[in-house]
Structure 1
C-alpha cells in the first residue's frame, strides 16, 4: 500500500501517541511523531495494560515483548484498608489476552522502538498549529516547522492541539492527589507478610493500589488516591515523604504500614480531569487519549483508552483514506465516544472492582471484533 503523499503528524509520544504512530505506520501511512520532551527516562511509575490493550499490541508485534517484562497477575484483589478483609477477588484471565502490570518507562521504550527509525522527534514543543484548509502548518518552539495532511493531538490533558480546537481552558482539579512510590522487593523480605501481585486497599475516603512492575518481581509500586482540598503548587508534582504517607494512612492495615516503612522516595501528583468535550475533531485536527477524555486513574484504564483510540482511529483512516479524513474522524468519534465516556464516568466514580463484578465489558473488549458504526451515530 503506497501512501507517499499522505502525511500524518502526531503531537505527543506518550503511550497513545506512540502506539498510534506504530499502528498507522503498519497500515502504510507516512507518519512522524513529535514529542516536546528532550528524551524519555525511566520515571518511577507503574501502569496496567489489560487484555483489551494486549490485543492491540499484537497488531504491532510487541505483545510478547510486553508480557516478557511485565508482572502478569491472575487476580485483582480489593481489600478493606483497615481490616484486610477481601471485598472482591476478580479474575484477570480468560479475556483473550494477558493482563500485565509494568513500569511505564519500560513500556514506553518498547512502544517507541516499534516506530520506524527516524520518525520520532524529541525536543519539539508545539508553538502553533494552523489548519489552512489545504494542509496543516505545525510550528515548534525551537523555530522549526513541518506540514502535514492531518494532525493527531496526543499531547495529554494540557493539550495545545485541544486549545486550538476549543480555546484555552484549564483542566478541573479533582480534589484528589496521588502518591507514587517504587519499592525494592528486597525491602519487603523482612516482613512476615504476603504482598499480593495486584491489590487495591480501600478506605472510607482514600485508597492505595499496589502491584509489581517487572517480570522479576523486584519492584513493588503503589499509587494512592487521597483527598486534598486544593493543589497549591505550580509544578506537575511535588516531593512527599514517608511521614506524610504515615499520616494519610494512619490506622490502616499492617501491609500498608510495611509499604510506607519501606518507602525511600515518594511524590505527590494532582489528579485532574475535564468534562466530556463537545467535539473530538475539527478540520484536519483530531484528538485522542487525555487530550480528549482525561479521567482519574481509578480504573487503571486511562492509557488503555488512549491506545484503544489509536487503534480505532487507524481503522477509520484505513476505511476512508486521508483524503476523506472528515468521514474518518466522524467514524472514529461515533465508535469511541460511548465507551470512552463510560470508562471516564466509572473511573471518576472510583467504584470499579470494589465489590465482586464481571469486568468483561472492559477487559474482554476487542476493538477489532465489531463492525464500524455509521458516522451518523456520533
Structure 2
C-alpha cells in the first residue's frame, strides 16, 4: 500500500469538547448508501459532504424492495411516509416452480408481524426522495455532482481526498473521515485493495424492465418463479396509469455462459436488452396467472447486465478511510438485500462516528458489519433463500403432485428462515 494511504500515526483532538467531529465526513458516492449515511450523520449533528461522480442525477434503475429492517432505518430519518406514498406495500412473497406450483409463501412487512411495511418501489424514486432530503437538510454545498474520486492521503490531521471534475480540473477536500460509497466499480476500493481479484461472474445474465400491467394476485405480491435454467422475479412497484393496473417490475435471470469467461466489459452493463435473447428463458415459465412472454414483449425498453459480485474483503478500513454498501460488499440481488445492507451499513457507521473517535469508529464499524455482509455475499452465491427453487427444479423438473415428496418442510424452513436470521430480517416483535 502507498505510504500515503497508511493509517495516521496519531489522533490529536479527533473530537471537540462537545464530542463532535472537528471537520466533516467526506462521502464518495451519492447513491442510496451514501445519501443514507449523510442524512444519518446530519441527524446526529455530524457534518458531511457527498461527492457524486455523475454530473446529472436522474431516476435510474427499475424496481427495488425496502425490507422492514431498512424501512425502519428510513422511518427514523422521517422518510418512510413519503416513500409509502409512491410505493406498493408488499403483502406476500411467493416462490413457485415453472408451472406456478407453490413452494413457499410468507407474509411480508406489517402482514408478517413487523413494525414497518415492506415497500416495493422504483429505485430512481427512492433515490430522488433521498437526494431531495439531503438537498433540504445538508448545507448548500453538501451535495456536489461531477466529482470523481482519484486518490487520498491521510495523517494525524485527517484525510485529504482528491477529485477530478467533469472539465478535468482537480480539487482537494479535507475531512476527518473518507467513506467510499461508490458502488461495485468503487475507486476507493481499488485504491485500498489494488490486488483485489475483481468482479466475479458465474455466467448469469439479468434482464430488467417495468411496465404498466393488469393487477395479478391482488396487486401486492412479490413472485419468484424458476426452473433449472430461468428465474423470474416480478412485483408491482407503483400504481399504474389506469385503473386496474400497476407499474410492474420484472427481472429475468438466465444462464448464458459457464462462468469461466471474464464478465462483460463495463460499458456492456445496463445496455438495452434484446427480445431474442430473453424470450427463450421467458418461454420456459408457464404460469397460469401471468403471461410472462407477453409481459416482456409489452415493455417498451428493458436493460441487461451481468449478475456479478466480488469476493468478500478481509478488511474495509485503514485509519480514517472505509467502504460502505456495494463498494464494500457487492452481492447478487438475491433476497432483496443489496440496498438493505447498504442502509444498515450507513446507520451503523453514523452511530459509531457519533460515539467514538474516527479511527476507533471505523474499526468498530468494520468489526460489526464486515462478517455479517461477507456471509450474505457467500450465501447469495449459493442462491440465498431462493435456493429452494433450485432444489425443487433439480428434484422435480416436470413439476410435482405433492411438495413434501420433493422437499421437506424442515429443509424449507432451514433455508428461508436461516437466511432471514442471517440478514437481520427476523421479526423484531
TM-score, normalized by length of structure 2?
A: 0.78
Q: Please give the secondary structure, in 1, of the residue aligned with 2:363.
A: helix
Residue 127 to residue 338, structure 1, CA distance change in 2 (3 Å): closer
Shift of 1:147: 0.9
Match of 2:278 in 1: 245
Q: Is the 8 A contact 2:211 2:298 kept in 1?
A: yes
Residue 27 to residue 175, structure 1, CA distance change in 2 (3 Å): same
Match of 1:174 in 2: 202
Q: Which runs of 5+ in 2 are unaligned?
A: 1-17, 389-411
Q: Is the 8 A contact 2:226 2:285 kept in 1?
A: no
Match of 2:383 in 1: 350
Residue 287 to residue 365, structure 1, CA distance change in 2 (3 Å): farther
Equivalent-residue separation in structure 2 for 1:233 and 1:360 (angstroms) = 34
Shift of 1:365: 6.8
Equivalent-residue separation in structure 2 for 1:348 and 1:9 (angstroms) = 32
Q: Does 1:124 align with 2:140?
A: no
Q: Is the 8 A contact 1:135 1:148 kept in 2?
A: yes
Q: Which runs of 5+ in 1 are unaligned?
A: 370-378
Q: Please give the secondary structure, in 2, of the residue aligned with 1:42.
A: coil
Cα deviations by residue, 1:299-344 (Å, 9 ceiling, x for unpaired)? 1101110110001111111111xxx222111211222123212322
Instruction: Map residues 134-145 of structure 1 onto 2, 5 A cutoff.
Output: 134-142=157-165, 143-145=170-172
Q: 2:236 aligns with which of 192, 212, 215?
A: 212
Shift of 1:348: 1.9
Deviates more, 1:299-308 or 1:141-150: 141-150
Residue 194 to residue 280, structure 1, CA distance change in 2 (3 Å): same
Deviates more, 1:199-208 or 1:252-261: 252-261
Say how many residue pairs are matched. Answer: 359
Q: Does 1:286 align with 2:322?
A: yes
- Rg: which structure is higher? 2
Residue 292 to residue 4, structure 1, CA distance change in 2 (3 Å): closer
Residue 251 to residue 177, structure 1, CA distance change in 2 (3 Å): closer
Q: Is the 8 A contact 1:274 1:293 kept in 2?
A: yes
Cα deviations by residue, 1:274-319 (Å, 9 ceiling, x for unpaired)? 1110111001101111111111101110111011000111111111
Match of 1:374 in 2: none
Match of 1:159 in 2: 186
Match of 1:263 in 2: 299
Deviates more, 1:34-43 or 1:338-347: 338-347
Cα deviations by residue, 1:56-102 (Å, 9 ceiling, x for unpaired)? 01221101111121111111011112x11011111112122110110
RMSD: 2.3
Q: 1:276 aligns with which of 287, 312, 332?
A: 312
Equivalent-residue separation in structure 1 for 2:90 and 2:76 (angstroms) = 23
Instruction: Map residues 50-65 of structure 1 onto 2, 5 A cutoff.
Output: 50-65=67-82
Q: Is the 8 A contact 1:72 1:215 kept in 2?
A: no
Match of 2:409 in 1: none
Instruction: Map residues 184-223 of structure 1 onto 2, 5 A cutoff.
Output: 184-185=212-213, 188=214, 197-216=221-240, 218-223=246-251
Q: Is the 8 A contact 2:176 2:358 kept in 1?
A: no
Deviates more, 1:201-210 or 1:32-41: 201-210
Q: Is the 8 A contact 1:173 1:273 kept in 2?
A: yes
Q: Is the 8 A contact 1:299 1:346 kept in 2?
A: no
Shift of 1:174: 3.1
Equivalent-residue separation in structure 2 for 1:286 and 1:4 (angstroms) = 16
Match of 1:109 in 2: 128
Q: 1:10 aligns with which of 21, 27, 31?
A: 27
Q: Does 1:335 align with 2:358?
A: no
Match of 2:344 in 1: 308
Equivalent-residue separation in structure 1 for 2:247 and 2:150 (angstroms) = 38
Shift of 1:4: 6.7
TM-score, normalized by length of structure 1?
A: 0.88
